[in-house]
Structure 1
Amino acid sequence: MKPGIQTLPTEVVHLIAAGEVIDSLAAVVRELVENSLDAGATRIVISVWGQQWRVRVADNGCGMKLADLKQAATAHSTSKIRNCDDLWQINSLGFRGEALHSLAQLAQLEVISRSAQIDEGWRVTYCNLGEPLQVETAAIAPGTVVTVDNLFGTWWERRQGLPPLERQMKAIQSTIGQIALCHPHVTWQVWQNDRQWFALSPGANTQQLIPQLVRQVRLGDLQHLKSELPAPEGEKLAGNCSLQLVLGLPDRCHRHRPDWIKVAVNGRMVNLPELEQTILSATSRTLPRDRYPICFLHLKVSPCQVNWNRHPAKIEIYLNNLNHWQEQVSQAIEQTLRLNSESVCEKVHNERIGKLIKASEAKGSYGLNRSIEPRLEEAKTDIDLKAIAQVHNTYIMAEHPGGLWLVEQHIAHERVLYEQLLKSWKLVELEVPAILHQLSEQQQLQLQRIGLDIRPFGADVWAVRNAPTLLAARDDYAEALLELSLGGDLQAAQVAVACRSAIRNGTPLSLEEMQILLDRWHSTQNPRTCPHGRPIYLSLEETALSRFFRRNWVIGKSHGI
């Protein structure tokens, strides 16, 4: 049975990070919704009347008994914690006992509630000190309805200092969306001025919720991963840790701004710049230039690993063993970006596939360059790719159990070479130094920055005596080194080397060469996109092909019988 509401001891109150809990309509929604979730609610209805500064939150949670209702709005009263030790073992969204008391001071507060264990509910209104002003029975299903009316009615300066109502409504929508991401099992209904504003349907996980919040993203554009995490080394009490990751696949969706990198810890969205930077680093060189990933990360760690008592809004936290969690997040993203049977059998390309096949049918020819060389035997992987043809000396046609793939050979090879360079960036001596002319001081510094040995060799002439291994074997290494001098960090130089060294489109390949390239590409860490962020393969799924050729018709019907 859930413990009742009690006033916190003075020593606990002194340890709590005090501050302004209610500073806007969105803050009212946040605090009331968190109370609903702590009560075990699976359905929450939020109603907002902006002009009246009124908010109502109704839930189907466990409800409250009359004794708890009478004490709910008094200062520092809560059922979440009892003593100082509980502050370091927070298992709930709320714990300070400040929200309802603050609302009673700033607005007209009414709570109607009924516990599932009793047959009658109660309506309580409170004075500005949080004491019961009126108590009466009320007909209500198990759960709680909290109404906050005339917010800041006695504090006009506060109302005048707040943004326009339109911006406040957007803040409310954003607040609900962030909370819903952390609790995808909950049904949400939101009303504005007695008209339904929006609703969110529950899902098995956050992957099913994101398309409801970001309309241009489809379910198949996202990859979901849930895994148990090892406890930090030396932390015996930090067991039962897990990670849930929903990542937008880089060849399918991305953003112009880093506005959809979300991090949550133990059911609450938080600001953790270190983990956000880890996400950006792990997805770098998989997205187009100036694009950012769609990523939701939810860490569930032992309460002893988190200190929530840092900021009144509880979005700033202290997370112990941060380096450990960063390493786990990097590994999870790497695993998610790999190709596997779960991530490639989705029907996300069907519309594009249909258009492609129709266009090809209209042209009347697929321009295949076939070879009959035997396929080399190889070790089995979770996806068995078999090279069967080359299209226009540019695309490798590969068969797999779910259909066909078209793989662009140049950027697939570029991905292979780039990841090789990341693992082993080697510079070798050139037999004949590269002679470069009219280099600016910035170009000279750039070549030195990536480790090249550059020395004056006359008036406006420089000799470069070493080069990356891949370039040293090329006849045009001088041109390549000049290209490297034009800017960028070491990683950009590695991309440039990989791009210049990769097989060019238009190059004929044998079946054996195609198969080797497919195998090497498939085993890379980020096989979906090249280092510039371009998609490497197009999936022609068997289901789409069957639909186009009408192979799912009933035999008799398809023959006009």
Structure 2
Amino acid sequence: MSRIQLLNPRLANQIAAGEVVERPASVVKELLENSLDAGATRVDLDVEAGGVKLIRIRDNGSGIDKDDLPLAMSRHATSKIRELEDLEKVISLGFRGEALASISSVARLTLTSATDQSNSGWQVSCEGRDMQASVKPAPHPCGTTVEMRDLFFNTPARRKFLRTEKTEFSHLEEVVKRLALSRYDVAFHLRHNNRVVHSLPPAANQLEQERRLSRVCGPAFLENALHIETEAAGLKLWGWVALPTFSRSQADMQHFFVNGRMIRDKLIAHAIRQAYRDVLFHGRHPAFVLYLELDPSIVDVNVHPTKHEVRFRDGRTVHDFIFRSLHRLLAEVRPDDQVNSARLEQQQQPAEIAPQQAPISFRSGQSQPQISEGEVREQLQGYTALQSRAPTPPAFPSAAPRPVMDDNDAEIPPLGYALAQLKGVYILAENAHGLVMVDIHAAHERITYERMKTARDSQSIRSQPLLVPMTLAVSEREAACAENSSDMFAQLGMRVERVGEEALVVRELPVLLANSDVEQLVRDVLSDFMEYGSSDRMLAHIDEILATMACHGSVRANRKLTLPEMNALLRDMEATERSGQCNHGRPTWVQVSLPELDKWFLRGQ
């Protein structure tokens, strides 16, 4: 090997740029974060050729003093921290002091700035092998303008990895969108090749925030979003989460901010995924824009050079707070929330049963029945017998006519009243807004499933001893975790004991999981305990079994219903949690408004 020597400043900065500057979007992120840290309330961004040829960012922040301009272009120079203890309560977006030096080593960078105390502006740029900073006067109002030209002009090996102009600008635009969502009090203006792409004024209230949200994420997101704002244990969560029916094929509309910083964190992602667990179609991803606010001293943002990852001092508390907040929000969604109609007291209509047709156990009202596992199995046997019968013709009772609909009638329930049954699969109903179509099986499946979960929660999880206890070989860390988590195992209906330095024995399991893969289940739960401080795998497996039972115990296709039975199902849907989706995440009903119907038939055109 050759002799050890110091790297020259330019080469050292170019190496550091490998962590900070990946593409034009990386430059924009660093420079915009500096503008926001400087207190800017307006940021103007001009880009050419996807950001490769030119990136110019101008802000009205506090500016940089003339004497500090050379330092601003140096490595490890920052105004945001002074000592190690400051890292424990970082509130600024940037603080490493590497961005400007790294960018200037791989592009032509000039910085012009002025403070409100200075009589004129000054401009700094770095030149030569040793990156000597040169300062000269330049007219400029209070604030800063950073201009970067010809990215990677001196590192062609890295420039060849850049994508097309369209792709690079797409990444750059996404950075601007995310920062625009992080700071509603700041105006953002973006131009690409002299064409205005975004012009976002400040948003001072929720209405203006939602207007910006609609322009950044699209109006469809806002139309399907629920607003949340909750606080507990020094944590505050607010923002918007989309209904499960507005799921995505990829995780491209997931924005989470911690104290204004956009992050991607496994613990938070797990909590959100857990909240959506039994309302999201398999393979789909939820959409959300959420903000978590907490004391900066209990979160470490100095985990990764890009600062996308964080570490919480009490991760379990944060995880449970996010999960419970979103789980409760999604559970409370009712049809009246979605059709924006007044909720009324539910009245069960009398049901007339057609000859040779057994009644269906729909129940109106808010209360949920308490049923045991034995009763569930008895119901399943009854449903199996019911499905074996041939469909009988429907009997529409004349004694219980459908109420006359009046658009101004405040007594109309959210899902309205049944008109007919289509092909034995759908209910057609009329409400104050127009036509409601309900998937009978999917809706009844959710109702049955929620009743089963309510019974499970009220009676606790029943467990049974294993005929032959199972011994597992684990690591010493896993064994210690299991020993410390015995109470959590007990809450899940399991008894797991430590019998050696690297050995566990499983003595009890939930009744419904008697035929599961015990070893894999215990290992998965232990993995969750060590990573997230909790686990929902046991309940997830139990819920999967209950969902299957509910599916088999629900109304099947071609089952003819009477009008009272259909109306009873609609009332049950209005009183049941998560009734907008079946157990597999599919929608259970859709609303077709009168204006939509008019368009179909070209009325008024």
TM-score (normalised: structure 1): 0.68
Q: CA deviation at 1:316?
A: 1.9
Q: Structure 2 counterpart of 1:319, which letter?
A: F
Query: Does the C-alpha gap of structure 1 residues 21 and 292 become closer, same or farther in structure 2, counting only changes over 3 Å?
Result: closer
Q: Does 1:264 align with 2:257?
A: yes
Question: 2:240 aligned to 237, 241, 246, which one?
Answer: 246
**8 Å Cα contact 1:207/1:223 also seen in 2:** no
Partner of 2:104: 104
Where does the alignment leave 5 or more consecutive residues of structure 2 unmatched? 1-15, 342-393, 403-411, 463-510, 517-539
Q: Structure 2 counterpart of 1:183, which letter?
A: R
Query: Does the C-alpha gap of structure 1 residues 176 and 119 become closer, same or farther in structure 2, counting only changes over 3 Å?
Result: same
Query: Does the C-alpha gap of structure 1 residues 209 and 372 become closer, same or farther in structure 2, counting only changes over 3 Å?
Result: farther
Partner of 2:420: 391
**8 Å Cα contact 1:47/1:194 also seen in 2:** yes
Q: Structure 2 counterpart of 1:222, which letter?
A: A
Report the secondary structure of 2:144's partner residue. strand
Higher mean alpha-carbon deviation, 498-507 vs 261-270, is at: 498-507
Q: Structure 1 counterpart of 2:453, which letter?
A: L
Query: Does the C-alpha gap of structure 1 residues 524 and 542 become closer, same or farther in structure 2, counting only changes over 3 Å?
Result: same
Partner of 1:134: 135
Query: Does the C-alpha gap of structure 1 residues 211 and 126 become closer, same or farther in structure 2, counting only changes over 3 Å?
Result: same
Q: Does 1:508 align with 2:561?
A: yes
Question: 1:529 aligned to 581, 585, 588, which one?
Answer: 581
Q: CA deviation at 1:67?
A: 3.3
Question: 2:232 aligned to 207, 230, 233, which one?
Answer: 230
Q: Give RMSD over aligned pairs.
A: 4.2
Report the secondary structure of 1:296's partner residue. strand
Q: CA deviation at 1:218?
A: 4.7
Identity percentage of aligned residues: 29
Higher mean alpha-carbon deviation, 108-117 vs 414-423, is at: 108-117
In 1, Cα distance between the equivalents of 2:555 and 2:261?
Answer: 48
Map Cα deviations across residues 316-336 of structure 1 (whole Å, 9 max, x no partner): 221222222222222222333
Report the secondary structure of 2:445's partner residue. helix
In 2, Cα distance between the equivalents of 1:202 and 1:413?
Answer: 46
Q: Structure 2 counterpart of 1:244, which letter?
A: W
Q: CA deviation at 1:76?
A: 2.2
User: Going by fraction, where is helix more abundant, 1 or 2?
Assistant: 2
Q: Does 1:414 align with 2:445?
A: yes
Query: Does the C-alpha gap of structure 1 residues 132 and 335 become closer, same or farther in structure 2, counting only changes over 3 Å?
Result: same
1:375-454 aligned within 5 A:
385=414, 388-392=417-421, 394-395=426-427, 397=429, 405-424=436-455, 450-451=513-514
1:37-116 aligned within 5 A:
37-50=36-49, 53-116=53-116
Query: Does the C-alpha gap of structure 1 residues 216 and 123 become closer, same or farther in structure 2, counting only changes over 3 Å?
Result: same
**8 Å Cα contact 2:336/2:415 also seen in 1:** no
1:30-41 aligned within 5 A:
30-41=29-40
Where does the alignment leave 5 or more consecutive residues of structure 1 unmatched? 1-16, 232-238, 348-366, 376-382, 429-447, 454-487, 554-561
Query: Does the C-alpha gap of structure 1 residues 106 and 388 become closer, same or farther in structure 2, counting only changes over 3 Å?
Result: closer
Higher mean alpha-carbon deviation, 46-55 vs 255-264, is at: 46-55
In 2, Cα distance between the equivalents of 1:131 and 1:302?
Answer: 40
**8 Å Cα contact 2:334/2:574 also seen in 1:** no
**8 Å Cα contact 1:91/1:303 also seen in 2:** yes
Q: Does 1:298 align with 2:301?
A: no
Report the secondary structure of 1:20's partner residue. helix
Higher mean alpha-carbon deviation, 322-331 vs 517-526, is at: 517-526
Higher mean alpha-carbon deviation, 524-533 vs 118-127, is at: 118-127
Q: Structure 2 counterpart of 1:107, which letter?
A: A
Report the secondary structure of 1:304's partner residue. helix
Partner of 1:196: 196
Partner of 2:380: none
**8 Å Cα contact 2:446/2:579 also seen in 1:** yes
In 1, Cα distance between the equivalents of 2:96 and 2:551?
Answer: 56
**8 Å Cα contact 2:17/2:105 also seen in 1:** no
1:449-528 aligned within 5 A:
450-451=513-514, 490-504=542-556, 506-509=559-562, 511=564, 517-528=569-580
In 1, Cα distance between the equivalents of 2:549 and 2:188?
Answer: 51
Q: Does 1:212 align with 2:215?
A: yes
Q: CA deviation at 1:148?
A: 1.8
Report the secondary structure of 2:124's partner residue. strand
In 2, Cα distance between the equivalents of 1:548 and 1:281?
Answer: 40
In 2, Cα distance between the equivalents of 1:508 and 1:420?
Answer: 21
Map Cα deviations across residues 162-217 of structure 1 (whole Å, 9 max, x no partner): 44554433322232233223224433332333333455565556654454345583
